[in-house]
Structure 1
Amino acid sequence: MTVLDARELNRATLARQLLLDRADVPALDAVAHLGGLQAQEPQEPFVGLWSRLRAFDPAALSDLLVRRDVVRTHLMRRTVHLVAADDALAWRARHDAMLRQRVLGVYRRELDGVDLDELAAAVRAVMADGEPRSMAGLARALAGRWPAPGPRALGEMSVAALVPMVQLPPRGLWRVKAGVRNVVLSSWLGREIAPLSPDRSDPAGQALVRRYLAAFGPAASADLRAWCGLAGLPAAVAALRGELVSFRDERGRELLDLPGAPRPGPDTPAPVRFLPAFDNAILGYHDRGRIIDDAHRGLSVAGARVVLVDGRVRATWIVEADTVVVTPLRGFSRGDRDAVEEEGQALASFLSDGDSHRVRIAPPP
């Protein structure tokens, strides 16, 4: 079995994530290809798409939210993702059990004795009037019947797990700050969620595996679980084996992939790219060593925005007033510094609509 080293896996990841060459595709196609973008920080997906698409217009993504072509919803790993509406409807039932278990993992004591099916029915009854509600507002409406859990546990279980919800615009629109208002997913889209198939081969899971490998492969089963949070996909993987190709990484793990998917050579040039907080190019793997050093792995879960140099995390970045400030994790070569400054200036112009913004490279710690 062919062994792929870390650099080969890095280049495959960059290609699948549209980070080798900016793509000439509509924003909706990019969101769908990527399997959604993590979006608990509402403005971060705009930077994620700017780094991946040529001539990206942030108004196009805002329009997709307003037109209900994409939605903000709790999905993979119980985090808020910006996903294509069709994917939200197709994938949500496959995530139901995981979402319940993850919320229970946080609030098991508070929710002890609460019949979750009864709670779900009560949530649907409250939301049946179609009025958007905050998590706290929904919890208050339920507290008379379930006073013990407290508003946080009651609200999060209701919104993030029991009843599929979406977060309405203006939250998530370009340069708009707005609180979270929730409505039922099927009501917002005017379509019902696809039910989970009783087929033991798990066709919904198979579709999810294919989509993951298209955007993240070659990858191990543990990487797939890390991306979606689902543990119960072995039947889907087994059913697909005949159409997949296999590799091994340098640790001996089996990696699966779609046969025709791009796997560029290890010497393929990788341009500087600025990634937003919690980007799935990093979080979408159990083994993140293909893109970030183990010593810096904590950055990927701390919400740091990072800079890729030669395909790997080599710096963090923030915005201070009118300046994009880049802090290297170690020193840059002259060529790398020039490339970071050039891409950083382009990002500064994007964030400021061409106004006078600049980039500054701070000394490494």
Structure 2
Amino acid sequence: MANTFGLRALNRATLARQMLLAREDVPVSEAVERLGGLQAQEPRPPYLGLWTRVAGFQAADLHAALHDRSLVRATMMRGTLHLVSAADYTALRAPLQPMLDTALRVLGKRAEGLDLDAVLPVARELLLERQRTFNEVRALLRERFPEVDDRALGHAVRMCLPLVMVPTQDRWGFPRTSEFALAESWVGTAPDEKAAPEALVLRYLAAFGPASAADAQAWSGLPGLAEVLDGLRPGLRVFADERGRELFDLPDAPRPDEDAPAPARFLPEFDSLVLAHADRTRVISDAHRPALTTKNLRVRATFLWDGFACGTWEMESRRKTATLRLRPFEPLPQEALDDLTAEGRALLRFAEPDAKDHVVTVAEDG
């Protein structure tokens, strides 16, 4: 009979993998691999996500890793932009392609006349010539395929060609409109087309386990992972949650005591911790989960107290004063406010180093 994992034990195990029980002194590229990648819909959140996890992290560390090409920003899990190591991109991109192909369904009628066998070779040639923005790619493809919707052309290229975004010296690594390059040109090797989903699932368990097949599917966007986990079963530990659902994990992965201290931590927008499980109660209650997502599907920045998401936060800078505003889901004890204030001021000093004052407040509607 499988051992049962309680809610707090699941919380602490996941926080340990995500470097949220203590900041760890590891190179940035290694940290990103251990974290299973960082969602990077916008360029700033990975910087904040690494600051909250890596001891002594400086923005220059991530800049350097992007420019030496050990880290790349590319379309990966769930068809969204992620920051991943170049090694993981090469090893894990191909197993995600069936999910990326399925993502083309969102085009609906706009995909009429779209012939991938004709479009993708042309797009490849355009990007072999030089790095280009997607506005350029769409315009040039429209010249060749005038009968096809330009957004459909761009979306097909983004989902079906292995591409990476080209970093610059902008503050957060990328400009508002970035150029793209073929992965094989930027990284030096094309994704391994023979790669199987087993490696993807093992990377997931290392970063977010113990977890169910449904959890792995929610993180990756890939269906059918129960069969993959079943094949890996002889080499995994198998547990059960309090509802009796099977949870899989790597044998030697950290599983700290459920009473292990969990310090106050700030997670940026789109952080994978709050997105990586089908059942997210190990991090946030079902009652509070709707508050994480805006009407236009932005995932709000959250803060953790005693390991669980207890509210959202936002940052602004005006007249040399940087302010971090807490919006708790429920009233917080004074101990939590004290710890969050200290941690919040440290985050402000990192994110807004030119500000003269760094202030943490609690919103009146929080």
Matched residue, 1:2: 3
Moved more, 338-347 or 164-173: 164-173
Quick check: 1:283–1:300 contact (8 Å CA) kept in 2? no
Say whether the 8 Å CA contact 2:92–2:199 is kept in structure 1.
no
Write out aligned runs for 1:147-166 (5 A): 147-159=146-158, 161-166=159-164
Q: What's the CA shift string for 1:138-163, capped at 9, x where partnerless?
A: 1111113322332222111112x121
Residues 113 and 232 of structure 1, relative CA distance in 2, 3 Å threshold: farther
Contact in 1 for aligned 2:166/2:174 (Cα 8 Å): no
The match for 1:201 is none
Aligned-residue offset at 1:364: 4.3
- Which residue in 2 is equivalent to 1:312? 308
For 2:169 and 2:41, the matched residues in 1 are separated by 11
Q: 1:119 to 1:250 in 2, by over 3 A?
A: same
Q: Which amino acid aligns with 2:92?
A: W
- Residue matched to 1:90: 91
- For residue 167 of structure 1, the aligned residue among 129, 148, 165 is 165
Q: What corresponds to 2:190 in structure 1? A: 192
Q: CA deviation at 1:265?
A: 1.5
Do the aligned partners of 1:71 and 1:166 also contact (CA within 8 Å) in 2?
Answer: yes
Given that 1:272 and 1:340 are in contact with CA atoms closer than 8 Å, whether structure 2 keeps it comes out as yes
Residue type at the aligned position of 1:170: T
Distance in 2 between residues matched to 1:145 and 1:245, nearest whole Å: 53
CA contact (8 A) 1:72 1:166 kept: yes
The answer to whether the aligner puts 1:280 opposite 2:277 as a matched pair is no
The verdict on how the C-alpha distance between 1:266 and 1:70 changes in structure 2, with shifts beyond 3 A counting, is same
Q: Which residue of 2 aligns with 1:326?
A: 326
Cα distance change, pair 176–236 in 1 and its aligned pair in 2 (3 A) = closer
Give distance in 1, aligned partners of 2:349 and 2:173: 14
Partner of 2:128: 128
Asked if the contact 1:165–1:183 (Cα under 8 Å) also holds between the matched residues in 2, the reply is yes
* Structure 1 residue 101: Cα displacement: 0.8
CA distance in 1, matches of 2:348, 2:66: 24
- Are residues 1:342 and 2:342 paired? yes
Distance (Å, rounded) in 1 between the aligned partners of 2:313 and 2:299? 11
TM-score (norm 2): 0.93
For residue 108 of structure 1, give the secondary structure of its aligned residue in structure 2. Answer: helix
CA distance in 1, matches of 2:205, 2:290: 25
Letter in 1 for 2:152: A
Give the corresponding residue for 1:59: 60
Is the contact between residue 220 and residue 255 of structure 1 (CA under 8 Å) also seen in structure 2? yes
- Identify the residue that residue 202 of structure 2 maps to in structure 1: 210
Query: 1:213 Cα deviation (Å)?
Result: 0.8
Supply the AA of the counterpart residue of 2:48.
Answer: V
* Conservation of the 8 A alpha-carbon contact between 1:23 and 1:52: yes
- Following superposition, the deviation at residue 186 of structure 1 comes to 0.5
Q: CA deviation at 1:132?
A: 1.7
Equivalent in the alignment of 1:226: 218
Change (3 A) 1:81 1:310: same
CA distance in 2, matches of 1:162, 1:281: 27
Displacement after TM superposition at 1:126 (Å): 1.8
Note if contact 2:325-2:361 (Cα within 8 Å) is conserved in structure 1: yes
CA distance in 2, matches of 1:96, 1:112: 21
Quick one: structure 1 residues 175 and 112, their matched pair in 2 at CA, closer, same or farther if it must change by over 3 Å?
A: closer
Aligned to 1:118: 118
Instruction: Note if contact 2:113-2:147 (Cα within 8 Å) is conserved in structure 1.
Output: no
Q: Percent of aligned positions with the same letter in both sequences?
A: 42
Q: Which amino acid aligns with 2:242?
A: E
Residues 147-192 of structure 1: CA deviation (Å, up to 9, x unaligned): 2332222111112x12111111128753764412111111111212
Q: Say yes or no: does 1:270 pair with 2:262.
A: yes
Please, what is the CA RMSD of the aligned residues?
1.7
The one-letter code of the counterpart of 2:287 is A
The residue number in structure 1 matching 2:284 is 292
Question: Does the Cα contact within 8 Å between 2:167 and 2:174 map onto a contact in 1?
Answer: no
User: Aligned-pair distance for 1:113?
Assistant: 3.5
Query: Does the CA-based 8 Å contact 1:171-1:178 persist in structure 2?
Result: no
Provide Cα deviations, 1:21-70, integer angstroms capped at 9, x if missing partner.
Answer: 11111111100111210001100001101111111111010111111111
How far apart are 1:119 and its partner, in Å? 1.4
Q: 1:17 to 1:196 in 2, by over 3 A?
A: same
Range with bigger deviation, 348-357 or 186-195: 348-357
Structure 1 CA distance for aligned equivalents of residues 8 and 224 of structure 2: 30
Contact 2:113 2:148 (8 Å CA) reproduced: no
1:363 Cα deviation from its structure 2 partner: 2.9
Gaps of 5+ in 1: 198-203
Cα shift at 1:297: 1.5
Code of the residue aligned with 1:33 in structure 2: it is: R
Is the Cα contact below 8 Å between 1:171 and 1:179 reproduced in 2? no
